[in-house]
Amino acid sequence: LGGVRDEAEIRGHRRTYIGSMPGKVVQSLSKVGVRNPLFLLDEIDKLGMDFRGDPSSALLEVLDPEQNHTFGDHYIEVDFDLSDVMFVATSNSLNIPPALLDRMEVIRLAGYTEDEKVHIVQTYLLPKQIKNNGVKEGELEVAESAIRGIIRYYTREAGVRSLEREVSKICRKVIKGFALKQFTEKVVVTDENLNDFLGVRKYSYGEATKENQVGQVVGLAWTEVGGDLLTIEAAIMPGKGNIIRTGQLGDVMKESVEAARSVVRSRARRLGITDDLFEKRDIHIHVPDGATPKDGPSAGAAMTTAFVSALTGIPVRADVAMTGEITLRGEVTAI
């Protein structure tokens, strides 16, 4: 369904139009020849919408079990029973119209674990790329440590597409090396020589700052490819009590900054912070990786900790990460 913008793709065209035909649903039923097939609606979150109609609204009748026994296709002009059809839709995110989402049962599938990715590379991807790139038997061996290094430092994804590209890159470099007589015997790729084939590491893995620092807190973030560590920084400087927010923060995250400031200010005496610090100092909150948009309330606890650390001069432990929305009562709510 990716890029489908025309409602007629679902409901069909009226027969008065030249070249009209039934919609994809009726066409597919005609092709399989049974009443109870399984339909896979792939990439349902990529549906478009324009002047020709809204296909997501046309899908409401298809997916609603209370209505789809009388599905109306514009071409055949006869009610069609879809109640025996099983529909499975796939999506990368839940950015789906609420009315359509309400007619679905959401089943969340986690991304592959590191061990699963290692097994997939050893069993499927590496043999496939060796064959596709013309690497001869006995010319290349990729150690498990190298595969884990690729997963940790060269890819960041829930699936294995980028991983396959990196494996293919290794195979191509090996083929080139043999062609240029740079290699004369079997090439063994390990974690130690991985950067000779793939270049410098693109990502860090499982590590934050190693030293406790004032105003710097490690938060936990959720992304479409899995969990990640997020650094939140706070700095104070002479000013008029303003808050500066940088790092592509969304509206909800900006409100979390205000809530965190109010929590700290309401407990200033208990925390040993004088009131003039708020009136005569500007506070700058920055979330690094500034090109990546960030949003959500879950950084509230980390921002509060960053405020307190910056205002009191107490370093924050670098080996502790935190997540959770902060309330004005100072409570951290579950995410």
Q: Which residue ranges make up each domain of the chain?
A: 7-102, 114-198, 213-333
The amino acid sitting at 157 is E
The string of DSSP codes covering 22-59 is: --HHHHHHHHH--SS-EEEETTGGG---BTTB-HHHHH
CATH code of the region 114-198: 1.10.8.60
7-102: CATH topology: Rossmann fold (3.40.50)
What does the pLDDT profile of the chain (335 residues) look like in tens digits?
Answer: 776 766 777 777 788 888 788 888 888 888 888 888 998 988 888 877 666 667 777 778 888 888 888 887 778 788 888 888 898 989 888 888 888 888 889 998 888 889 999 999 999 999 999 999 988 888 899 999 999 999 989 998 888 999 999 999 999 999 999 888 888 888 999 999 999 999 998 887 766 677 888 999 998 887 766 677 888 999 999 988 899 999 888 898 899 999 999 999 899 888 888 877 888 889 999 998 776 778 888 889 999 999 999 999 999 998 888 999 999 998 998 87
DSSP-based three-state secondary structure for 99: helix
Give the C-alpha separation, 156 to 201, whole Å.
Answer: 12
Is the domain defined by 213-333 classed in CATH 3.30.300.30? Answer: no
Give the C-alpha separation, 245 to 256, whole Å.
Answer: 11
138-152 per-residue burial string, b: 16 or more CB within 10 A, e: under 16: ebbebeeebbbbbbb
- Is the pTM higher than 0.75? The answer reads no
* Under 8 Å between Cβ of 140 and 133: no
